[in-house]
Chain A
Amino acid sequence: MNCKGRMDSKFMLMADLLCDKAATTTAMLREKLKTCTVEYITNNFDVESIWLNVIMKRLSMWRNFPELMNVGRTFHTSSVCGHIIKLTRLRVVDNSEIGKQAMAEGKPPKCIHIYNKKGVGTIGDKVLVAVKGEKKKGIIVGVKQNQPSLIPKFDSNNVVLIDDTGTPLGTRIHVPIPQILRTILKEKNVVKGVDYTKLLALATRFV
């Protein structure tokens, strides 16, 4: 998510003021910015002096990189934590047809829901993913986020697609799977209901 704090709302206001009400297109804003100086701002707008420096800096950035004009900040804040949240891209690691196609097309599935109370997925959590225009369920089998000792941390967020009864869609998992997943999935099983442990039988290697 983009980080839009107080400072940025100020900038948006400035941008609105600098152009006319209707002129929200970047082209017109760019034209305005070419002529904009410190004097122009101080004369025409009521700006505290602390903001002035920051505003001029931002204006110069817009002048140099006009494509950044519609963006609040130029960096993202949620990817750094490595959280698996809604709209995080995941990597399908089984050989299910739909998963393979999605990965081959370069459109990895997006997580659209996490079935836990926290909203942040980790090893063993069930997620709802959007793959190739379909909704599928999956189990997270490896995460990028830093882990406590003796739990492996992977270079990608891996997911295995399953159906509603817990049966995996593929027949083989071609990356290593954390050992702790055995215990986690056994705990999550429902007697005579969903059986997640079928997934463990597909794994080729545990770490």
Chain B
Amino acid sequence: MALWCRGVQRILVDVRPIFSLFQTIGNTEYSSLSSVSRPEGLGSDEAKEAKTVEGHKPIVPLECRFVYPEFLPDPRLDHRNSLREKLERMDMLNRRAHIDIPEFYVGSILAVTSSNSHAPEKSSRFVGICIQRGGCGLRASFILRNVIDHQGVEMFYEMYSPVVQKIEVLRLEKRLDNELLYLRDALPEYSTFQLDMEPEFLPEGAPVPVNPIKVKLKPRPWLERWERQELKGVQDLGLPERFYKRAAEVARPWEKYDLMKEYRASIPAEEQEEIFVEVYSQLQQLEVMRKKMKRRRTFVRPKKMG
């Protein structure tokens, strides 16, 4: 009973951002990640104002939960343990001091270099599009996919694994969906990327572009029933009417209005803020350090002319 009461209190505290979420559900095309979507009305300026009134805490931008999603713990209550989470965050920061884990999203193209005792040169590099990103804390992971020599290959990486030496972002962009697992059933040209791809740089402070590409799937049989998932990045599936009928029957369109479900599946905004207040200054420092290092390294040797 006491637990339940506490739950209700937390809901009451958390209700404001959730309601603003519903107002924006209609007009946000891309709600990234499973945590609470970013309410557009509540921009970072408003948050800053709210903070400065309190005057104590450092200012934490709201994008943090999209840039560093793995710092948020697993929302399942039986998996929560505040001490473990804190220790994990410290370990993650320690690891980030040694390697650069850049900002990337599902749909970005990455190159990962990892030590590999099986390779003759003791390290291997893999380039591919990120089709899934998940896991919390030290178990954060992502899957890269590429088509090499007409053969689809996927590689699963753990972000904080000590064997990962380097993570580069070759093209920073988002796609229309939160998971691109349908690329497994798509035509190979949609997941083919050159292994010697040059990194593309975005101008400083520019928003991350969303790639609105619509992928064409191969004819059935598929790995999953894609027509039953509300995919935005897929061209018309060209199925007989009965498939769509069945999809409509099993669809659960009311679930997006289920406040309790949303609450259970996300970390409340207040808690997110606490976490990011704890780690943000260090993350910021690392970012500044890295920029300095990059500037030092990007000395371009003059080419011989003529």
Chain A residues within 8 Å of B, Cβ to Cβ? 93, 142, 146-156, 158, 174-176, 179-183, 204-207
Question: Most chain-B CB neighbours within 10 Å: which of A93, A147, A174, A207?
Answer: A207
A153 touches B156 (CB 8 A): yes
Choose one: A142, A150, A153, A179; the contact of B163 (CB below 8 Å).
Answer: A150
- If A150-B116, A155-B184 touch, whether A179 touches B124 (CB-CB below 8 Å) is yes
Q: Is B150 engaged at the interface, CB distance under 8 Å to the other chain?
A: yes
**Smallest CB separation, A152 vs chain B (Å):** 5
A142 partner residues in chain B, CB cutoff 8 A: 151
Query: How many angstroms between the C-alpha atoms of A201 and B119 in the bound complex?
Result: 14
Query: How many angstroms between the C-alpha atoms of A169 and B239 in the bound complex?
Result: 42
Considering only CB atoms, which chain B residue lies closest to A93 in the complex?
A: B151
- If A147-B156, A152-B154, A153-B154 touch, whether A176 touches B149 (CB-CB below 8 Å) is yes
Considering only CB atoms, which chain B residue lies closest to A180 in the complex?
A: B118
Query: How many angstroms between the C-alpha atoms of A175 and B184 in the bound complex?
Result: 17
Query: How many angstroms between the C-alpha atoms of A166 and B126 in the bound complex?
Result: 30
B163 partner residues in chain A, CB cutoff 8 A: 150
C-beta contact mask, B100-133 vs A, less than 8 Å → 1, else 0? 0000000000000010111100001010000000
Choose one: B118, B124, B148, B155; the contact of A153 (CB below 8 Å).
Answer: B155
Q: Is B152 engaged at the interface, CB distance under 8 Å to the other chain?
A: yes
Chain B residues within 8 Å of A, Cβ to Cβ? 114, 116-119, 124, 126, 141, 148-158, 161, 163, 184
**Smallest CB separation, B151 vs chain A (Å):** 4
B155 partner residues in chain A, CB cutoff 8 A: 150-153, 207
A147 partner residues in chain B, CB cutoff 8 A: 156
B184 partner residues in chain A, CB cutoff 8 A: 155
> Does more than half of chain B's interface fall in helix, strand or loop, or is it mixed?
strand
Query: How many angstroms between the C-alpha atoms of A77 and B163 in the bound complex?
Result: 36
Query: How many angstroms between the C-alpha atoms of A150 and B153 in the bound complex?
Result: 12
Query: How many angstroms between the C-alpha atoms of A141 and B123 in the bound complex?
Result: 20
A156 partner residues in chain B, CB cutoff 8 A: 151-152
Question: Most chain-A CB neighbours within 10 Å: which of B118, B150, B151, B156?
Answer: B151
Query: How many angstroms between the C-alpha atoms of A146 and B124 in the bound complex?
Result: 20
A149 touches B156 (CB 8 A): yes
Query: How many angstroms between the C-alpha atoms of A98 and B117 in the bound complex?
Result: 35
B148 partner residues in chain A, CB cutoff 8 A: 175-176, 205, 207
14 pairs from A and B in contact (CB 8 Å cutoff): A93-B151, A146-B156, A150-B116, A150-B157, A154-B153, A155-B152, A158-B151, A174-B149, A176-B148, A179-B119, A182-B119, A183-B117, A207-B148, A207-B155
A150 partner residues in chain B, CB cutoff 8 A: 114, 116, 155-157, 161, 163
**Smallest CB separation, A196 vs chain B (Å):** 15
B124 touches A207 (CB 8 A): yes
A176 touches B141 (CB 8 A): no
Considering only CB atoms, which chain A residue lies closest to B114 in the complex?
A: A150
A154 partner residues in chain B, CB cutoff 8 A: 151-154
Considering only CB atoms, which chain A residue lies closest to B164 in the complex?
A: A150
A179 touches B126 (CB 8 A): no
B118 touches A183 (CB 8 A): yes
List 6 other contacts, CB 8 Å, given A153-B154, A176-B153, A205-B149.
A147-B156, A152-B155, A154-B153, A156-B151, A181-B118, A205-B148
Considering only CB atoms, which chain B residue lies closest to A184 in the complex?
A: B118
Question: Most chain-A CB neighbours within 10 Å: which of B116, B126, B141, B153?
Answer: B153
A146 partner residues in chain B, CB cutoff 8 A: 156
